[in-house]
Chain A
Amino acid sequence: AQSVTQPDIHITVSEGASLELRCNYSYGATPYLFWYVQSPGQGLQLLLKYFSGDTLVQGIKGFEAEFKRSQSSFNLRKPSVHWSDAAEYFCAVGARGNQGGKLIFGQGTELSVKP
Chain B
Amino acid sequence: EAGVTQFPSHSVIEKGQTVTLRCDPISGHDNLYWYRRVMGKEIKFLLHFVKESKQDESGMPNNRFLAERTGGTYSTLKVQPAELEDSGVYFCASSRNRVTTEAFFGQGTRLTVV
Chain A residues near B (Cβ < 8 Å): 4, 32, 36, 41-46, 49, 51, 90, 92, 94-96, 100-108
Contact pattern, B 97-114, Cβ under 8 Å of A = 1, otherwise 0: 011101111111000000
Within the complex, what minimum Cβ distance (angstroms) separates B29 from chain A? Answer: 13
Give the CA-CA distance A45 to B102 in the complex, in Å.
10
Which of B22-47 touch A at CB < 8 Å? Answer: 31, 33, 35, 41-45
**Across-interface contacts of B100 in A (CB, < 8 A):** 32, 51, 100
Nearest A residue to B102 via CB reads A46
Query: Nearest residue in A to B101 (C-beta to C-beta)?
Result: A49
Contact call A101/B33, Cβ cutoff below 8 A:
yes
In the bound assembly, the distance between CA atoms of A49 and B101 in angstroms comes to 10
28 A–B contacts, CB within 8 A, in A order? A4-B42, A32-B99, A36-B105, A42-B107, A43-B4, A43-B104, A43-B107, A43-B108, A44-B43, A44-B91, A44-B93, A46-B104, A49-B102, A94-B99, A96-B99, A100-B99, A101-B33, A101-B48, A101-B56, A101-B98, A102-B56, A102-B59, A103-B33, A104-B45, A105-B35, A106-B42, A107-B41, A107-B42
A48 vs chain B, min Cβ distance (A): 10
A-B contact count (CB 8 A): 59
**A95 shortest CB reach to chain B, Å:** 7
On whether the beta carbons of A90 and B106 are closer than 8 Å, the reply is no
In whole angstroms, how far apart are the Cα atoms of A28 and B101 in the complex? 21
Contact B99 A90 (CB under 8 A): no
Q: Which of A36, A42, A100 has the most CB of B within 10 A?
A: A100
Cross-chain contact A100 with B42 (CB below 8 angstroms): no
